[in-house]
Amino acid sequence: MCMKKKKIIIISIIVIIILIIVLWYAGIIPKQIAKIYSIAYMNFNFPEMRLNYDKIEWSPYHESYIINYKDKDDQTYSCVIGPKYFPVNLGQGLFAIEETYRNNY
């Protein structure tokens, strides 16, 4: 492999790494992680509720993302997911969903 091709490959890898870092700290990648993780969690733990993802937004008050779901009756359920850069911990609001699930299913 010639030196020119090696240099192009190295520069491309560096640009990709920088792009990933920028997207991560801008919140785009963590937001997608939160969305994917919480959808999988809700489908696995509350299958009969058939919760559909509605929206996700950053809450500076909770320092976490707030994710909303709607059920077949258009009732909204919300819970907090964090931390900011690797959101895989569901928190506040999850107990209400669990209680509704126990009572109705």
Is residue 34 included in any domain, yes or no? Answer: yes
Signed CA dihedral, 51, 56, 62, 64: sign only: positive
Q: What is the pLDDT confidence band of residue 15, given thresholds at 50, 70 and 90?
A: very high
Q: What distance in Å separates the CA atoms of residue 93 and residue 53, rounded to the nearest whole number?
A: 15
For 88-105, what is each residue's pLDDT tens digit? Answer: 999 999 999 999 999 988
pLDDT tens digit sequence for 31-90 = 999 999 999 999 999 999 999 999 999 999 989 999 999 998 899 999 999 999 999 999
CB 39 within 8 A of CB 93: no
Indicate whether 38 belongs to any domain. yes
Tally of structural domains, the chain: 1
Q: State which residues form the domain around 99.
A: 27-104
Q: Does 13 fall in a domain? A: no
Q: What is the pTM of this model?
A: 0.84
- Classify residue 41 by burial, with Cβ atoms within 10 Å: 0-12, 13-18, 19+: middle
DSSP state of 26: T
| 7 domain-assigned | no
Furthest C-alpha separation in the chain: 68
For residue 18, being part of any structural domain is answered with no
Within a domain: residue 47?
yes
pLDDT of 42 reads 95
